Amino acid sequence: MFRFMRPAEAALPRLLILDDEAMTGATLQRMVALSGFAARHATNADDFFRLLKEWAPDVVSLDLVMPGMDGIEVIRSLGGQQQKALLIITSGVGSRILEAAERSARAHGLDIVGFLPKPFSAATLRQLLLKTQARLAKRPPVVETASLPERELSVAARQRLVAVRSPAAEPGPSVVDLRTALDRLEIRLAYQPKVDCSTGALVGFEALARWIRPELGHVRPEVFIALAEQHGLIDELTCRVTDLALAWLAGLAREAAACSATVRSSLEQVQLSLNVSALSLGNQALFERMVLRCRQLGIASQRVVLELTETSAMQDAITALDNLTRLRLQGCHLSIDDFGTGYSSMVQLVKLPFSEIKIDKSFVMRATSCEESRAVVRSVVDLGRSLGLSITAEGVEDEATLRYLKELGCDSVQGYWISRALAPDAVIPWLLAHEARRLPH
Ligand code: G
Ligand code: G
Ligand code: MN
């Protein structure tokens, strides 16, 4: 005789539920178990923390509103013990509060996979669990712990550290790997188009660094940029990125020679945006070199845009201000990236000579579904306009969002709806197809 065998529980991802309503918890547990998880359920915080320790779940599902201890307190103590499990928040509270809880969880270094608004349907739960499984399958590799004290890292670097400090099967790249990659020219660039919001005409490209390790595959930019920042390699990386991107831009004009007059003229003026770490802002030689390279390659400095985030992390604010002002005087543009998040705030905006404001994708992506995000987008557009800045929205993922941004009077847009970041040899084919779509006649 043989009996039907369930897959060994030990091989399944573990999901621990905290919900004070025994019925809800038990239902959830049953449904989760049907989706290929090993599931346990606690109705109070004491049991929850005991199971957390003994059973070491991969995912925890938290109810926000409970008598005795609320979900935020649980979140705080999960953060305090540097909990690596993915987090699902279940609650019947409104989206405003859920978003605040999400921010709180992120601030405590937790990795949120999603929300389960109550009452929930089986379909919603199933979708969330599929997403959870996908996230568990590709948890990022662990980066070496910082050699610098963490408080000396930029806020962005710290956030990235948190993002990459999750349990992982294989070790992530080391600083030696990155050093080798720089020497072997393994860092490449992808270029994401930026287009005029109302006409769709090409405005520029943002260069985004890519690292593909032979045999091992992609390393996420958040991971290797943080690694470079922690180990003093960021200036060299920026230098490499700048050289590659400027040479590519100069080459683009040559390739354009074979194209139609419209394509040629748009390519001759197209802008290039480069991301610059706050840690590099004090490096005068880096910027002098950049301007020199432009001159050598016949690229007008007006075509170069430097995108800065987290300018609060500048080590020497005065030198940075000097360098950036000098760059502006030479014609380069300065963009405040990820505006609306972290320290890319009003204070930074008035302190430094920015010419462009980039609305963070987290707001843009939710602009059609969430009134709060829409309000932020609207106000940033107003703010940008009153300060005479060029306004770019990033993270445009659908047509409705594009239409909304057009209505608001946003200048340029970037996002998956227009194009993902492209390998260098895919740029001209993309542009030809884009022009054919845009100008069908
Ligand atoms: O494509 P995306 O996953 O590429 O980029 C992730 C993050 O990495 C973004 O915040 C982007 O600003 C940052 N990034 C990408 N390339 C560079 C780079 O060359 N220098 C710096 N400092 N950041 C970069
Ligand atoms: O921080 P920075 O603005 O430089 O980040 C650029 C990042 O945004 C890159 O990782 C890029 O791949 C990503 N990105 C660009 N467009 C979209 C989009 O439409 N949706 C999402 N989710 N990410 C995007
Ligand atoms: Mn950017």
Ligand 1 within 6 A of CB of 219 = no
Closest C-alpha residue for ligand 1 atom 5: 221
Residue 59 and residue 203 in one domain:
no
CATH assignment at residue 46: 3.40.50.2300
Residue 240 and residue 357 in one domain:
yes
If you average pLDDT over each of 22-31, 64-73, 299-308, 327-336, which comes out highest? Answer: 299-308
Answering whether pTM is above 0.85, one says no
CATH assignment at residue 340: 3.20.20.450
Residue that finishes a domain, picked among 89, 121, 136: 136
In-domain check, residue 396 = yes
Q: Per residue in 364-421, pLDDT tens? A: 999 998 888 999 999 999 999 999 999 999 999 999 999 999 999 999 999 999 999 9
In-domain check, residue 148 = no
In-domain check, residue 153 = no
Closest C-alpha residue for ligand 2 atom 21: 395
Residue 123 and residue 253 in one domain:
no
Residue 170 and residue 296 in one domain:
yes
* Residue whose CB lies within 8 A of the most ligand 1 atoms, among 225, 281, 306, 311, for a mutation test: 225
Residue 214 and residue 115 in one domain:
no
Closest C-alpha residue for ligand 1 atom 13: 221
**What is the atom index within ligand 2 of the atom nearest the CA of 360?**
3
Ligand 1 midpoint to CA 406 (Å): 26
CA dihedral 205, 225, 367, 347 (to 10 degrees): -100
In-domain check, residue 193 = yes
Ligand 2 midpoint to CA 51 (Å): 38
Please count the structural domains in the chain: 2
Residue 179 and residue 36 in one domain:
no
Asked whether 368 and 390 are in contact (CB, 8 A), the reply is no
**What is the atom index within ligand 1 of the atom nearest the CA of 338?**
10
Residue 312: its pLDDT value, please? 56
Range of the domain at 116: 7-136
Residue 124 and residue 180 in one domain:
no
In-domain check, residue 326 = yes
CA dihedral 334, 335, 340, 342 (to 10 degrees): -60
Asked whether 402 and 421 are in contact (CB, 8 A), the reply is no
Q: Per residue in 159-209, pLDDT tens? A: 344 344 444 445 689 899 999 999 888 999 999 999 999 999 999 999 999
Asked whether 393 and 377 are in contact (CB, 8 A), the reply is yes
Residue 306 and residue 389 in one domain:
yes
